[in-house]
Structure 1
Amino acid sequence: MATGAMADRIRSKLGDLSPAERKVGRVLLAAYPSAGFETVATIAERAHVSAPTVLRFVSRFGFRGFPEFQAALRTELEQRNASPLSLYDTPGYGRPADEGADQGSLLGRAGRIFPSEVAGTLAELPPHDLDQAVRLLADPRLRITLAGGRFTHLLAQYLGLHLMQLREGVQFLPDRAVERTAALAALGRRDLLVLFDYRRYEDDKVAMAELARERGGKLLLFTDTWLSPVAGRADVALPCRVTAPSPYDSLVPTLAVIETVVAGVVESLGEDAHDHLRRAEDVAQRIGLV
């Protein structure tokens, strides 16, 4: 499945297009994003439609012409591949757009950005996807394995530690090569792999997703709004905004989604979660951890 903001827009609008325009959409999705950088004539030939049909297709998405459509696609790819270094001098990422202008205090900027990004993330999250993520995490028949990336391993641990207090069968993907290999080789139909993968996406996450799917396992993905390449293989993908007052992507909206998911798991497990948490507390007291 093609992944990306533009791909999602095309896919969601296919049902509203004419039959000829749908052919254009399918050609673009089949080789996304590279097909979007072909000429109008080439796309028309591949879709077996006329060049004006291709132009009508892009106009359906609010573009005034094909160059504008390609510029939007190029911007999306640049955003997907952005790093803290590339964002450092970008206006709005860690420094005011106009250094001489009054942009407000750091606290003021943070106070505007973080609530907006959290609210936007939760508003854009499809309720069906959230419900499905909760069902997977609360399913006692599934063993859960969590893995994150450079920074997002912290979020994987945050979610996993909560789940460990609520249910059995939760583990983190080990760091050491032999243990990691063994854990991935053991994945099967009763496993749920939970991955965190954000822009500057990591190739090992795609390989892990492929292993889980090949063995009949389930896959839950936390990602950004540009969507990790893993999204096309996931049973559920929960995209989160990442805008921050610094060059670093914010994980605050993802944290809000995690805590929302945890609340759903608590509700879904009901008394079983309560009993499991009580047993965990009893053990912690006996060994002097609380």
Structure 2
Amino acid sequence: MDSSALAEEIRQKLGDLSPAERKVARVLLAGYPSAGFETVAVLAERAGVSAPTVIRFVNRLGYRGFPDFQAALRTELDERHASPLSLYATPGYGREPQARELTADQILGTAVTRTLAELPPHDLERAIQLLADSKRRITLAGGRFTHLLAQYLGLHLMQLRDDVRFLPDRHVERTAVLTTLSRRDVLVVFDYRRYEADKLVMAQMAQEQGSRIVLFTDTWLSPVTQHAEVVLPSQVTAPSPYDSFVPTLAVTETIVAGVLNTLGENARRHLQAAEEAADRAGLYRR
């Protein structure tokens, strides 16, 4: 099993588990990854199941026992907090002959294909439903690099529907937005390794205020996962020490297409109004 996809593997198997095993899975996901380092007895108590149920659960995931499961989790954590500098020191990033033979189209093409194939269908459809619901207000937040992805998705949504905004950078404005989140709001968060603490806090605040959370993340899964209704993981494999956001962009494009199809004529009218306003304001050169 690919240890980098451990949490996502648990999420994907939820439908195949027994009710008791699902309780174990949800405790692990809610407290991921620290919950995985509890003893079998403690994990069983937290889930309200027997110790043998915990063992059966990890066996179902393909591990020989609980120590084997925890070893895989430790390996994942090392990868989860990797930085470009630490990855550059890892063999295979541009300095090994075999790495030079791998072309960008092979690496990125495979990453996009895997991402779309492994995307949870329910989460994808739910994301489209939430973002196409005109009764909901959409707020988007990104990180160091991923604010660019948040802007890309948000600018498309602004052309298709009303009530779309970005989480402001300035503290007073950001605080004002966070304190007004409610049950009608959808908070879209982009959070990739190395995860940003403020994203976890704002997601927790949003959930407490009744907002729905759509999370774009990597296969190691951001801590925001425990508060998100929708989790959309992407591969980040790249031909350099930097994580690639090409697969995430493919997921974003897929969602934009889904929202457009769901909104139908309403989206066309909104887009037409936006074009007419831009023409009148002289924003586009003819």
* TM-score normalised by L of structure 2: 0.85
Counterpart among 171, 176, 180 of residue 174 in structure 2: 180
CA contact (8 A) 1:223 1:238 kept: yes
- Counterpart mapping for 1:159-170 below 5 A: 159-170=153-164
Relative to structure 1, the CA distance from residue 73 to residue 184 in structure 2 (aligned partners, 3 Å threshold; closer, same or farther) is same
For 1:129 and 1:26, how far apart are their aligned partners in 2? 16
The alpha-carbon deviation at position 162 of structure 1 amounts to 0.5
Match of residue 114 from structure 2: 120
Relative to structure 1, the CA distance from residue 171 to residue 67 in structure 2 (aligned partners, 3 Å threshold; closer, same or farther) is same
The alpha-carbon deviation at position 219 of structure 1 amounts to 1.1
What whole-Å deviation, never above 9, does each CA across 1:212-236 have from its counterpart, x for those lacking one? 1122112111111111111111121
Match of residue 257 from structure 2: 263
Q: Residue 69 of structure 2 aligns to which amino acid in structure 1?
A: F
Relative to structure 1, the CA distance from residue 121 to residue 286 in structure 2 (aligned partners, 3 Å threshold; closer, same or farther) is same
Counterpart among 266, 277, 283 of residue 271 in structure 2: 277
What whole-Å deviation, never above 9, does each CA across 1:15-56 have from its counterpart, x for those lacking one? 54696x778767766765345445668778986547xx8766
Relative to structure 1, the CA distance from residue 168 to residue 113 in structure 2 (aligned partners, 3 Å threshold; closer, same or farther) is same
The alpha-carbon deviation at position 161 of structure 1 amounts to 0.5
For 2:129 and 2:27, how far apart are their aligned partners in 1? 35
Match of residue 76 from structure 1: 76
The alpha-carbon deviation at position 152 of structure 1 amounts to 0.2
Q: Residue 157 of structure 1 aligns to which amino acid in structure 2?
A: Q
For 1:36 and 1:178, how far apart are their aligned partners in 2? 38
The alpha-carbon deviation at position 210 of structure 1 amounts to 1.5
Match of residue 220 from structure 2: 226
The alpha-carbon deviation at position 200 of structure 1 amounts to 1.2
68-77 vs 55-64, which deviates more?
A: 55-64
Relative to structure 1, the CA distance from residue 28 to residue 119 in structure 2 (aligned partners, 3 Å threshold; closer, same or farther) is closer
1:157 aligns with 2:157: no
Give 1 or 2 for the bigger CA radius of gyration. Answer: 1
What whole-Å deviation, never above 9, does each CA across 1:241-283 have from its counterpart, x for those lacking one? 1111111111000000001100011101111111111111111
7-16 vs 66-75, which deviates more?
A: 7-16
Count residues in correspondence: 278
1:91 aligns with 2:125: no
For 1:257 and 1:177, how far apart are their aligned partners in 2? 30
Superposed CA RMSD: 2.8
What whole-Å deviation, never above 9, does each CA across 1:84-142 have from its counterpart, x for those lacking one? 122111123x324xx3x35445xx52111101000110011122211111111111101
For 2:179 and 2:24, how far apart are their aligned partners in 1? 40
Tell me, what secondary structure is at the counterpart of 1:231? Answer: helix
- Counterpart mapping for 1:1-290 below 5 A: 5-10=5-10, 12=13, 16=17, 32-37=32-37, 49=51, 58-64=58-64, 66-92=66-92, 94-96=93-95, 99=96, 101-105=97-101, 108-290=102-284
Tell me, what secondary structure is at the counterpart of 2:103? Answer: helix
Relative to structure 1, the CA distance from residue 232 to residue 41 in structure 2 (aligned partners, 3 Å threshold; closer, same or farther) is closer
For 2:14 and 2:194, how far apart are their aligned partners in 1? 28
The alpha-carbon deviation at position 196 of structure 1 amounts to 0.4
For 1:44 and 1:192, how far apart are their aligned partners in 2? 34
Relative to structure 1, the CA distance from residue 24 to residue 174 in structure 2 (aligned partners, 3 Å threshold; closer, same or farther) is closer
Tell me, what secondary structure is at the counterpart of 1:193? Answer: strand
Tell me, what secondary structure is at the counterpart of 2:241? Answer: coil
CA contact (8 A) 1:220 1:237 kept: yes
CA contact (8 A) 2:7 2:220 kept: no
Tell me, what secondary structure is at the counterpart of 1:263? Answer: helix
For 1:5 and 1:241, how far apart are their aligned partners in 2? 9
